[in-house]
């Protein structure tokens, strides 16, 4: 397909979200991104159109590998990370900007004009990178936040921002389950802090520091060291807390 972002019309189920047509990486490179993924809030879609115009003007190209995700798709990506099936961290459902139709993942290594220049053009039109490196994990991930969401993130944290963005478009899929999981993770973090004297932030996000603290606990108590707080690990934590 032509190297551009085409807005196809409003999504019937999500408020302020439009369907788009962009070059993807699936099938033959350059074929349209699958429709289930090809959705953005309208200001983000308009901004991406401008990015494509600038890139093409300079003789480059931009292929998209990911855009909108359902709650189940996001949760699967998180579980894959926890199990070591993927190295780049993926937050749990309802903590990802992908579910808010405000994120894209790009093929950062095939742009024709270099990732650095593509990043400059994305930044110019309001797309924010989340890591400074141009080659490491998540270098390919960009988010359309706008000033109001940058302020929200500064006040409430990233996960709360992602959830508020998701709720703004009327996407409540997985919220009840996510709230229950966050409560469990906060309990886990607080418990590990007490038993290991770690200093985990009790934020309900099962990130790399929490995963490493779980590994430390498992090593100390002769459990399988996989970084996953399953029933056996949680049972041992409860047993030790009862003795404190």
pLDDT at 21 over 90: yes
CATH number, domain of 209, equals 1.10.101.10
Whether 155 and 182 map to the same domain: the answer is no
Tokens of 184: 């469990």
Same domain, 32 and 148: yes
Q: Which of 34-43, 57-66, 204-213 has the lowest mean pLDDT?
A: 204-213
Quickly state the pLDDT bin for 27 (edges 50, 70, 90): very high
Among 13-27, 73-87, 194-208, whose mean pLDDT is lowest?
73-87
**Is 1 part of any domain?**
no
- Quick one: 85 and 188 in the same domain? no
What's the CA gap between 185 and 151, in Å, rounded? 26
Domains held by the chain: number:
2
Count of H-run helices and E-run strands, the chain: 8, 7
Phi then psi for residue 215, to 5 deg, are -60, -45
pLDDT at position 115 is 98
pLDDT averaged over every residue in the chain = 93
Q: What is the pLDDT of residue 207?
A: 84
- 144-167 burial, b if ≥16 CB within 10 A, otherwise e? bbbeebeebbeeebbbebbbebbe
Convert the pLDDT of each residue in 62-72 to its tens digit: 999 999 999 99
Q: What is the pLDDT of residues 119-154, one digit of tens each?
A: 999 999 999 999 999 999 899 999 999 999 999 999
Q: In this structure, how many other beta carbons lie within 10 angstroms of the beta carbon of residue 17?
A: 23
Two tokens at 159?
A: 């996960």
Q: What CA–CA distance (Å, rounded) separates 220 from 68? A: 41
Instruction: Choose one of 140, 168, 196: the last residue of a domain.
Output: 168
- The dihedrals phi and psi of 226, each to the nearest 5 degrees, come to -130, -5
- Mention every residue, 6+ apart, whose C-beta is less than 8 A from residue 49: 4, 5, 7
User: Both 185 and 157 in a single domain?
Assistant: no
Mind listing the pLDDT tens digit for each residue in 168-200?
A: 999 988 777 777 888 899 899 999 999 999 999
Domain housing 119: 6-168
| Percent of the chain residues topping a pLDDT of 70 | 100
In a domain, 71, yes or no: yes
109 and 17 assigned to the same domain: yes
């Amino acid at each position: 397909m032509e190297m551009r972002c085409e807005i196809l019309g409003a999504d019937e189920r999500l408020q302020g979200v439009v369907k788009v047509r962009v070059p993807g990486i699936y099938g033959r490179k350059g074929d349209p991104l699958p429709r289930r993924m090809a959705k953005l809030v309208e200001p983000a879609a308009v901004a991406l159109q401008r990015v494509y115009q600038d890139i093409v003007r300079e003789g480059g190209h931009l292929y998209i590998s990911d855009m909108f995700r359902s709650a189940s798709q996001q949760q699967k990506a998180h579980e894959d990370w926890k199990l070591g099936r993927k190295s780049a961290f993926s937050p749990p459902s309802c903590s990802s900007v992908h579910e808010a139709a405000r994120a894209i993942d790009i093929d950062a290594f095939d742009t024709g004009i270099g990732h650095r220049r593509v990043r400059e053009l994305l930044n110019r039109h309001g797309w924010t990178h989340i890591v400074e490196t141009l080659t490491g994990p998540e270098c390919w991930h960009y988010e359309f936040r706008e000033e109001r969401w940058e302020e929200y993130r500064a006040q409430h944290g990233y996960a709360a921002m992602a959830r508020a963005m998701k709720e703004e478009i009327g996407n409540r899929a997985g919220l009840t389950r996510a709230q229950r999981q966050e409560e469990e993770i906060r309990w886990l973090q607080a418990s590990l802090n007490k038993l290991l004297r770690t200093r985990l932030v009790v934020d309900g996000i099962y990130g790399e520091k929490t995963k490493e603290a779980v590994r430390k606990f498992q090593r100390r108590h002769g459990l399988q060291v996989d970084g996953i707080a399953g029933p056996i690990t949680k049972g041992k934590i409860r047993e030790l807390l009862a003795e404190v």
